[in-house]
Structure formats: structure tokens, C-alpha cells
Amino acid sequence: MKIFRLILFILHTGVAFLLLGMLLNAYVPPKLFPWFNLLSLGFPVLITMYIILTLFWIFCWKKRAIVFAVLGLAFINPVTRWINYNADPEKDFDLKIVTFNAKNGALGVKDIENHINKLDADIVLLQEHGGKEYNFNGAKEVSVDAITATFSKYKIIDHKELIKSDFETNNAYANQTDVEINGKTYRIINVYLQPFKFEKKMIKLNGNSEENERKLKNVVRRLIPTFKKHQEQVEIIRESMDNSPYPVILAGDLNSVPNSYEYYHLSKGLKDAFVTAGKGSATSFHDYKFPLRIDYVFSSASLKATSYSVDRSVRLSDHYPVIATFTIEK
């Protein structure tokens, strides 16, 4: 039994160090050391192991349980970026935003259009719109680029590309759209960071250990260069936010999970609408049987999130639509 407990203690300590390493994504860029960013992908598994092992030590009445429990407080905020339990959403709001990766409309442009219209959003942000034409109720202003499209009921006073994209190769893209809402201007940034371009068969493991090892190596070969590319793209988007004379709303498909380098640096100075007003799970990408939150809505402090939801009532893409409402500081 002592040997078993020693093994568990070593395992628990190792998991703790991996989780602490993940927190360094706030400081260490992928070009310097990309492996910390890799840990963010495994956060749901790591934190589950950590909690189970902590409960085991508590059950065994071991003093080490106190140490691990106290250390676990460092991971409360990272957990709330995945799963949160805020009170019921406020009914009153001034602004409703929907962000949705439409997967090039492959599962039905008309179905997407009809469902988004039912949501009756003030601003709709699409990624991977596929060059399709959408007609959303009340959208007076439209800004469409290679991969992203912004639809607004409010007047668009300026629009600028932030990251150029070659649509044929489906590279990353981001733009900024300045919108006038009730006499005040807001900067809306629609983001689609570099995709990893995985297919299910590329990551699905089987009983063949050699083939599984090859698949894992191929996955890492795709992840590391993409992390580094994200760093460059994040710097461009950050410049737009840092130089903005207006309050900012940043939303879209980051192709990155919470607690990643991308999350920490794009959310800096902004509020995560899910953390502020979300309830339950924030998982938005459903194509794999693994919890992946890669779609987000962030805002400046002058816009208070009153609700945040992932619309799982439909499957119009490999992503679910994300809906957030805000009250605007008068």
C-alpha cells in the first residue's frame, strides 16, 4: 500500500507541475517555449486527475491533502474559463452578439441564415463564411472579407483588415469594424486564428502502438508551428486593441483553448463574457469527443456581459453558435 501511495504522490506532484507550467502561458511566448501551450490542450484531463487525487488524500486523512488543496486554489480561475456557475442571466440588455464558425456553409446556408435570424442579434460575426451570401434580419451594414463577415444593425463607420488571408489556402484572418451604437463608437474585432487543419482520422488512436506513436508525432508537428504563427497574429490584433480610441469587443474562433498563450494575451485588459455571465460548460467545438472551447466573446469593462450561452440546439457546423448580451455603460 505504501508503494501504491508513493506512486500516486509522484503522479500527483507531476500533474501539479504540469498545471503550473500551463499557467506560464501568460508570460512565455510559443516562439520561446511552445510546450507550455501544449499543456493547455490537456487541461481538462490534468485538472480532473488533480482533483481526484486530492480527494483520495483527503479520504486517506493524509496531511499532504492540505498542501494539494491549497495549491489547487491557483487553478480556480483556469477552471472557470471552461466550466462556470454564475447566477441566472439578466433579462435586460442593450446589445446582443452572435459569433459562429459556419464551416463554409457546408451544412446548409439557408439553415444557418434562418437560425441566426431567430436569435435576433444586433451584431453577427461569422468565421469561415465560405463566400456565401447571408441575409440577416435588420442587418443594415455588412463587412465581408475572405474568411470573416460582420453584420450589424448599427452604422459601420470604418472597417480595416488586420491579417491578410489567402482564402484558397484558408489561412488565418482578422479584421476590425468600428460601429456606432446610440451615438458612441465601439471597435468590433472579428478573429479567426490559424487553423490546425486536423481530420478525425489523423488523431484517432487504435491498437497499433507504432501507428499511434506516428500519429502523435504528426499532431505535435502541426501544433508547434501553428502556436508560433498564432503568436505573430496575436501581436497584430493586440496592436489594434491597444491603439483603439474606442471600447473593444473581440470575438470569434481563436483555434485556441482557455489558459493558452492566445487566450491570456488576447483577453488582456478585456472581460471574458463567459467568466462574467456564463453558466455550465463553454465547450463550443463538438466535432471531437473532447471538451474544446475555442470560440469566445471578450469586451472592454464599459460593456458588462449579462448573459453568455453556447447554442447546442442545432448542429449547423462543427461549432456551436455562441451568444452574448451586454449592457452598455451610459
Which pLDDT does position 237 carry in this prediction?
A: 96
Could you tell me which CATH number the domain at 86-328 has?
3.60.10.10
Which pLDDT does position 211 carry in this prediction?
A: 59
295: closest CA among 42, 39, 26, 98?
98
> Alpha helix locations (H) across the chain?
2-23, 35-41, 43-59, 64-72, 76-80, 109-119, 200-203, 209-242, 261-266, 273-277
- Does residue 183 come out as left (phi exceeding 0), alpha (psi in the -120 to 50 range) or beta? left
Which pLDDT does position 276 carry in this prediction?
A: 96
- Give the torsion through C-alpha atoms of 254, 260, 261, 264, to 10 deg: 90
Which pLDDT does position 166 carry in this prediction?
A: 56
Look at the block and give the residue holding cell 469586451: 299
What b/e readout covers 239-251, taking b as 16+ CB neighbours within 10 angstroms?
ebbeebebbbbbb
d(CA 253, CA 193): 7
Contact status, residue 122 vs residue 152, Cβ threshold 8 Å: yes
d(CA 115, CA 138): 14
The SS3 of residue 112 is helix
Which pLDDT does position 172 carry in this prediction?
A: 56
Which pLDDT does position 130 carry in this prediction?
A: 83
Which pLDDT does position 296 carry in this prediction?
A: 98
Query: Tens place of pLDDT for every residue, the chain, 330 residues?
Result: 788 889 999 999 999 999 999 999 999 999 999 999 999 999 999 999 999 999 999 998 888 999 999 999 999 999 999 999 887 777 789 999 999 999 988 888 999 999 999 999 999 999 998 888 888 887 877 777 778 999 999 999 999 888 876 545 555 589 999 999 999 999 999 999 998 876 555 555 555 566 556 667 777 778 899 999 999 999 999 999 999 999 999 999 999 999 999 999 999 999 999 999 999 999 999 988 788 999 999 999 999 999 999 999 999 999 999 999 999 977
Which pLDDT does position 213 carry in this prediction?
A: 64
- The distance of Cα 163 from the centroid of its chain, to the nearest Å, equals 18
d(CA 252, CA 262): 13
Beta bridge partners of 141: 152
Contacts for 322 with CB less than 8 Å, ≥ 6 apart: 98, 99, 100, 251, 284, 295, 296, 297, 308, 309, 310, 311
Contact status, residue 82 vs residue 275, Cβ threshold 8 Å: no
**Rounded to the nearest 5 degrees, what angle is found at the Cα of 211, between the Cα atoms of 260 and 170?**
45
Which pLDDT does position 289 carry in this prediction?
A: 78
- The distance of Cα 287 from the centroid of its chain, to the nearest Å, equals 15
Cell numbers for 168: 484558397
Contact status, residue 142 vs residue 159, Cβ threshold 8 Å: no
Q: What is the pTM of this model?
A: 0.91
Helix axes 64-72, 43-59, angle to 10 degrees: 150
